[in-house]
Amino acid sequence: MYTGNGHEERSESMKNVRDVKDLNDLKDNNVIKEKHNVIRDKNLSRSEKNKINNRFATITYVYLFIFLAMTAYLCYFLGFKSESFINNPYNPRINNLSDSVIRGDIKSSDGNVLATTVQNKDGTLQRSYPYGEEFCHSVGYAVNGMTGLELENNFDLLRSHSYVVDRVQNELSGKKSQGDTIVSTLDTNIQKACFDAITTEKGAAIVIEPDTGKILAEVSKPSFDPNTASQNWKSISSSNDAQLLNRVLQGKYPPGSTFKIATVLSYLHSGGELTDRFDCNGEFTKGGYTVHCANNESHGNQDVTQAFSNSCNIAFSQIGLKCDITDFDTITDQLLFNKTLPGKFSNKAKSSFKLSKDDDEPMVMATSFGQGKTTVSPYHMALIASAIANNGELMVPYDVDHIESKDGDMVSSNSPKKYKSLMTADDAETLKTLMRKVVTDGTAKSAFKDPSYTAYGKTGTAEFNSKGDTHSWFVGFADNGEKTVCLCVLLEDTSSHAYTAASKIFSACFK
Amino acid sequence: MVRLFTIISRYILIFLFALYTFDGFFALRSGLSKSKEKGLYYLQNIWTLLLISLCNVILYLNTENATYIVLMVSEITLVIALQIIYKAAYTGINNALLNHLCMLLSLGLIIISRLNTDRAIKQLIIAIFAAVVTSIIPILIKKFDFWEDLQKLYAVLGIISLLIVLVAGQTVYGAKISLNIGGFSFQPTEFVKIFFVLGISAALKKAKNGRDYLILTIVSFIHIGILVLSRDLGGAVILFMIFLLLVYLKTAKLWILVSGGTLVVSGLFLVGKLMAHVQSRISAWIDPISVIDNAGYQVSQSLFAIGTGSWVGSGLTLGMPEKIPVVSKDFIFAAISEELGAVFGICLIFTYVSCIILIMNLAMQKKDTFSSLAAAGFGIAFGFQSFLSIGGVIKFIPSTGVTLPFISAGGSSTIAFFIMFSCIQGMGMKKEVKA
């Protein structure tokens, strides 16, 4: 690599000695014994010269190394990172792709078209959503901004993997190529059941397959028709009911009694037993705070299992007070409170749980039955139920099964991935038993009459203001020996029951 | 059809630049006959001229703006003039370095003109001015020997320039780097690098004992300290590298490299803790998406550009480099990579590597300590600034906001690097005094 110094070195070796001396500050006069050993001098001078050259070489190699490392990083970024990185709503280039590609279709797992691009009479292209309101939050929209599947797969929808010859032909003739098709995990029948089951004005429902993490349905109400969103944008975006909000992912609700799942786990980890007994006389006061059960019911003397299935606030206040706060923290931590939840969905809300040793008794009591400062999203509750149904293991939730070209060739596909264990298999088994009791003997016993499945769950009634208005929750799962589905339903501000909605959704799943 | 032409020419442009880079490395091999070496350098010039022509034709066809034809003719003329004049005026000029200068300059002009033709014209005028003015530098260096006796002047000039910036400079992106004089933005730091290299080289040549080295170190750290206070960390790191590597070249003490490396890492850590502006750059480096609304915006846009352009690029004018803030200066590598492709960008990286090897080789062959160290010092500054600029743009290292030598738009930077290159050429041609 270093040219030119070879011959110079030989012919000028004597002078080199002096120059080297200059560079090197050698005070050693022995180097120059001109009159004597010339050969020795030559060797010496050469080695000295090499030493100096070595320093230049060292620096050159250091530079070579950092530049090569930088090049390797660039290649690594382009080879492995860039695809997922550039698929971001802040990247203005992606929409440029629509100059040469027709935005692809989105299909349901049962083969129905959920979103497609149609040509208007005047030749312009328009996005069309055959199912209208039903999939408005899950499929999303691509008109004023983007959400849902449209947003997450924006880049893939605008790429075409159709036959190369076709694409070159299109390029030459100035025609657009057809973008790839997203085949989602959403099922139109289950989605419809969810949509119909939410009878209140506002609410949310999500159905997940616990052993794979596939999202089968996701509904948030109020919704709107994405086909006309562009025209109605003003009223949609300014509505007081937060029509644009996907309540499943973004909602932050008090969990109410569904939180007793966490409380009972904390109690068992603090050394409590399911056979421990508590009294309920319809009223319980501690630290100046009085707790009532729903409808002022009095449950009498019950063990933990009964307290869970009756959803007894009084028993759970006492259970909470017996819990070790550290265990409470550990359990909620494992259940992903205060954490970014898994799944590639933007805008997922973080659930929040706060309880410290300094909190007074009323706060501990309220927190134990899901009031206090705790908030959760329906998505998060569904994930907890999903882990319980799957021996404690949570799978990473996903809603895209695979991507195919317009000719049906597979472009890429998703497979189930384990996220992590939220609890031990034993804990999951215990909770399963408790949740079965809720359906057979407890608060939800009137709801699940359909013999085609076995249901498990926990109801919840969560107060969200001081007037005593409530949201209704149901979180649980059902199996028929072949498959298991898990769901979470939330109905806002209502006296009707989420478990009624849940039973209808389960029936649709097992039809 | 224009679109198709643009898309197909991506491959031709990459091919041309790859040939250029390859020829450059091939010519570095020892044992090559003089005529063969010369032939390779001529070929390099041909690739450069073809690249200029093709790029400008693409730009013209896409925009139908006749300015590009004017720019094409000017760029070709500039390259040919530089080649002819330098070779006629100086025997023994380093041909390879001259070719690289022409290539980098042309690439810069092309990409700046793609972003903004007015700016490119300004840049062209600056380049011509710089080329003319600096063409006498090699003579001055060849003829006179007093350069190595001026170390006090270099130190005073350097420190005063930096102090003026510290006191009167404008704050741009959190750092004080430029002065506004009569409507022109002027960045003295770019020139301080030159004084710094000359000063250290002169002082090192004469340094005999510990006291000399101590003074040298103190003066160097005064420079670096002022830059840190101006929050110009890019400049501070470059000066520190010059200091560290030149002292190592003189003393051959490996521990200097090691302890210097440790010092710079711990120093950066400390500065990072203390300065909010550095913290935000580091968080933008670790995860730009998480802070995309503020500190991470620029790096994210840069990576979007590079990622979307991918290996072969979108084709000139078909990308959106204008979405990246400060793209014509610090982030110009992203614009190149987006539209001309990452393969093209990698060829560019290797062209910089080739420059560093050439400069170090030239410095190594000098027997006079001052010439040798000064040439090496310029190489160190040039190489490290290229590394900081490209590394920051591709998120390999935190962004330090330095320009890409000879490519970024900006008068001070271009003129300063012209001076450095002519100094290097001058040092290379200087006759060795034989005792």
Q: Model ipTM?
A: 0.94
Question: Which residues, including other chains, have CB under 8 Å from residue B376's CB and lie 6 or more apart?
Answer: A56, A59, B245, B246, B249, B359, B360, B363, B364
What confidence tens digit (pLDDT) does each residue in B239-296 have?
999 998 998 888 878 888 888 888 888 887 787 777 777 778 888 888 888 888 878 8
Backbone angles phi, psi at B433, to 5 degrees: -80, 125
Which of A5, A81, A88 is nearest residue B304 as measured by Cβ atoms?
Answer: A88
Report CB contact under 8 Å: B395, A52: no
Chain B residues with CB under 8 Å of A53 CB are 364
Please say if the pLDDT value at position A12 is more than 60. Answer: no
> Are B4 and A172 a contacting pair at CB < 8 A?
yes
Nearest to B323 by CA among B296, B342, B311, B305: B305
User: Which residues touch B59 (CB under 8 Å, ≥6 apart)?
Assistant: B65, B68, B110, B113, B114, B316, B317
Distance (Å) from the alpha carbon of A45 to chain B's nearest alpha carbon: 13
Pairwise CB contact (< 8 Å): A8 & B365: yes
Partnered with residue A474 across adjacent β-strands are A459, A489
Q: Which of A4, A16, A96 sits opposite B320 (nearest CB)?
A: A96
Q: Do A63 and B387 touch (CB under 8 A)?
A: yes
Q: How far is B225 from chain A (nearest CA, A)?
A: 25
Q: What is the pLDDT of residues A247-303, one digit of tens each?
A: 999 999 999 999 999 999 999 999 999 999 999 988 899 888 888 887 788 899 999
**Residues of chain A found within 8 Å of residue B305, distances taken between Cβ atoms:** 93
How far is the C-alpha of A460 from the C-alpha of A335, rounded, in Å?
A: 18
Compare B268 and A489 and report the one with higher pLDDT: A489
Length of chain B: 435
CB-CB: which of A67, A93, A171 is closest to B349? A67
Tell me, what's the pLDDT at A29? 43
Please report the pLDDT score of residue B174 as a whole number. Answer: 63
Query: Residue A40 has what pLDDT?
Result: 45
Q: Do B396 and A69 touch (CB under 8 A)?
A: yes
Q: Which of B7, B31, B311 sits opposite A78 (nearest CB)?
A: B311
Cα–Cα distance for residue pair A431/A478, rounded to 1 Å:
14
Strands (DSSP E) found in A249-405 = 277-280, 284-286, 289-291, 300-303, 393-395, 400-404
What's chain B's average pLDDT? 88
If you average pLDDT over residues A13-17, what whole number do you get? 43
Contact B416, B404 (CB under 8 A): no
Contact A16 B367 (CB under 8 A): yes
Q: How far apart are CA A204 and CA A129, in angstroms?
A: 20
Worst-scoring range by mean pLDDT, A3-17, A488-502, B275-289, B315-329? A3-17
Nearest chain B Cα distance for residue A13, angstroms: 12
pLDDT at A23: 45
Q: Is the CB of A66 less than 8 angstroms away from the CB of B307? A: no
Task: Determine the Cα–Cα distance for residues B219 and B239; give it in Å rounded to an integer.
Answer: 12
Judging contacts by C-beta atoms under 8 Å, the chain A residues touching residue B296 are none
Select the residue of B249, B289, B303 nearest A55 (Cβ to Cβ): B249
pLDDT over threshold 50, residue A31:
no
pLDDT tier for residue B98 given thresholds of 50, 70 and 90: very high
With an 8 Å Cβ cutoff, are A85 and B387 in contact?
Answer: no
Q: Which residues of A touch B6 (CB under 8 A)?
A: none
